[in-house]
Amino acid sequence: MKENRIVFILGLVCLIAALATGRDLFYNLTYLIVAIIVLSYLWTWTSIRWVHVTRYLWAKKAEVGRTSEERFTVRNTSLLPKLWLEVRDHSDLPDHQASHVINSFGARKERGWTVRTLCRQRGRFTLGPITLISGDPFGIFKMQRELPQTSPIIVYPAIVELPSFATPSGQLPGGEALRRRTHYVTTNVRGVRDYAPGDSFNRIHWPSTARKGHLIVKEFELDPMADVWLFLDMAKLAQAELEWEPILEKREPALLWTKRPGLQLAPSTEEYGVTVTASLAKHFIVRNRAVGMVSYAQQREVIPADRGERQLSKILETLAVIKAWGRIPLAQVLAAEGLHLVRGTTIIVITPSTDKKWVTASRHLEQRGLRVTAVLVAPDSFGGEEGMEEVMVELAARGTPTHVVRKGDDLAAALSQRTWEAIERPRYILRK
């Protein structure tokens, strides 16, 4: 620091002058400067000691387009006040501005503030560490102290509520119900049993309870509905992306927001595909359907089909960190993973690929009795190559339900209507 050097140089000059002249004035100035240096150092050292910082994250999971809230509390446990104290945060969560400067921090006092961050990027992030910085009133010294404690936070992709999504009706193998017990409440009652701790009251069978004299609950079987498998295309060569900077609709701090800003997705087929997959997963799981997911990204990601909120969390956690770094084209993924699916399974393919080989692979799956629905993320609207119309025509000719999503579309509206019905099928004229 410049002030630090000036003070030390001035003290050295006074010391040399005192030794050379022997005058008391220069000796007194030397003693004064040395005393100021020592007191300033001790002041700075104590300013970053006996300080306790706690941070409380309201939820360790967030969602793109929503806010994450964190509460900071700083307590001065010493008997000495602190002139100023900077709490510098090193979190890697984008737009997370948690650093704060505290002035006139009295002894045995406590300060706190709340930080709200609008999550604009999915992924796993780390909150912390923290660096405490302080100095003396003369600006001679500045010291810092590292607080290495960190806490993780995962940001899920955005989820759009879908009013409807039409899929082909699935069939069960052999056309018979699945005879498997489940803890979910379904329309198929298998029998009754004694009440066990943890059973919900809506499972109680009151006629049997009245007859037996103690609580009796119903047991259920899985619904005879086909599983839904989401195939998300994360092949790197199929993706397209535009340069983008988020438009900040609100300039005031997030703490003062009375209305959450509108959802802004990065203009890339990767981000739109992930958002569509997350929205479809929630759409079917809340309707008690078994949902699985397949995607070849950084590595092979396969989540077996299951139901419930836990399954939704598994899918969202995978989608939060998935990247379009895959090297295997969608056609090979469908051919390899489709072999493990039983007849009657519903497959939803989410892809920006204009390669018609995956359409051929999906046709082979349909011939095996699987039901295919396509969600096409048009790459030309993201600055990519054209050719999606040819894929749409081929899918329409086979009657495959198709939904098209373009940059800036309302995803709820785009996924609630079929596009293939509006395409005229090819007509063939027979001549004698």
Could you tell me the CA-to-CA distances from 266 to 114, 121, 273 in Å, in that order?
27, 9, 11
Q: Is residue 165 part of a domain?
A: no
Residues 61 and 205 both lie in one domain = no
Using pLDDT thresholds of 50, 70 and 90, give the confidence band for residue 130. very high
* Claim to verify: residue 386 and residue 242 sit in the same structural domain: yes
Based on the domain organization, do 129 and 278 belong to the same domain?
Answer: no
Q: Which two tokens stand for residue 212?
A: 């037996």
pLDDT at 183 over 60: no
Nearest to 345 by CA among 182, 228, 201, 197: 228
Query: In total, how many domains does the chain have?
Result: 4
pLDDT in tens, 153-168: 999 999 999 988 876 5
Place of tokens 């018609």: 356
**pLDDT digit string, tens, across residues 270-297:** 999 999 999 999 999 998 899 999 999 9
* The two three-digit tokens of residue 1, written as one number: 């620091």
According to the model, what pLDDT value does residue 286 have? 93
410 in the same domain as 323: yes
Contact between 30 and 14 under an 8 Å Cβ cutoff? The reply is yes
Give the pair of three-digit tokens for residue 237. 């060569």
Residue 28 near residue 21, CB atoms below 8 Å: no
Is residue 170 in a domain? no
- Closest by CA to 302, choosing from 239, 223, 234, is 234
- pLDDT tens across 398-428, in order? 889 999 999 999 999 999 876 554 344 443 3
Residues 312 and 201 in one domain: no
Q: How far apart are CA 76 and CA 39, in angstroms?
A: 20
H/E stretch holding 284: helix 269-285
Confirm whether 432 is domain-assigned: no
- 91, 70 Cβ separation under 8 angstroms: no
Structural domain contains residue 430: no
Q: Quote the pLDDT of residue 190.
A: 62
Identify whether residues 214 and 241 lie together within a single domain.
no
Query: Predicted confidence band at 171 (pLDDT cuts at 50, 70, 90)?
Result: very low
Domain shared by 37 and 87, yes or no = no
275 and 379 share a domain? yes
Share the mean pLDDT of the chain. Answer: 85
Q: Which domain holds residue 275?
A: 228-421
CA distance 156 to 171: 32
pLDDT value for 376: 95
Q: What is the CATH number of the domain that holds 267?
A: 3.40.50.410
Domain co-membership, 126 together with 105: yes
- Residue 432: what pLDDT? 34
129 and 182 fall within a common domain: no
Same domain, 349 and 253: yes
Structural contact between residues 80 and 107, judged by C-beta atoms closer than 8 angstroms? yes
Of 100, 95, 1, nearest to 44 (Cα)?
1
Q: What is the CATH number of the domain that holds 132?
A: 2.60.40.10
